[in-house]
Amino acid sequence: KEGNVIKKRLKGLPAIAFQHELDHLNGIMFYDHIDESAPYKDIPGATAFDRE
């Protein structure tokens, strides 16, 4: 049904993907999160992913 509240607790990659898509629904793009004065600075509390 429309209007029902749904709660999910996600971690790791599913949490990142969900937040990414939720941001799109709210009109927020990835680059909106980037600090223009220091685009490569560390993000507090973030966990880096190893690319294999």
Global pTM value:
0.52
Catalytic entry in 2, 21, 36, 52: 21
Whole-number pLDDT of residue 1: 62
Tokens of 49: 């992913």
| Residue 23: CB atoms within 10 Å | 14
Judged by DSSP in three states, 17 sits in helix
Whole-number pLDDT of residue 40: 85
Whole-number pLDDT of residue 18: 92
52: annotated active-site residue: no
**Cβ contact 22:14 at 8 Å:** no
Whole-number pLDDT of residue 34: 83
Residue corresponding to tokens 């990835």: 30
pLDDT tens for 1-51 read 688 888 999 998 899 899 889 989 999 887 787 888 988 888 788 777 776
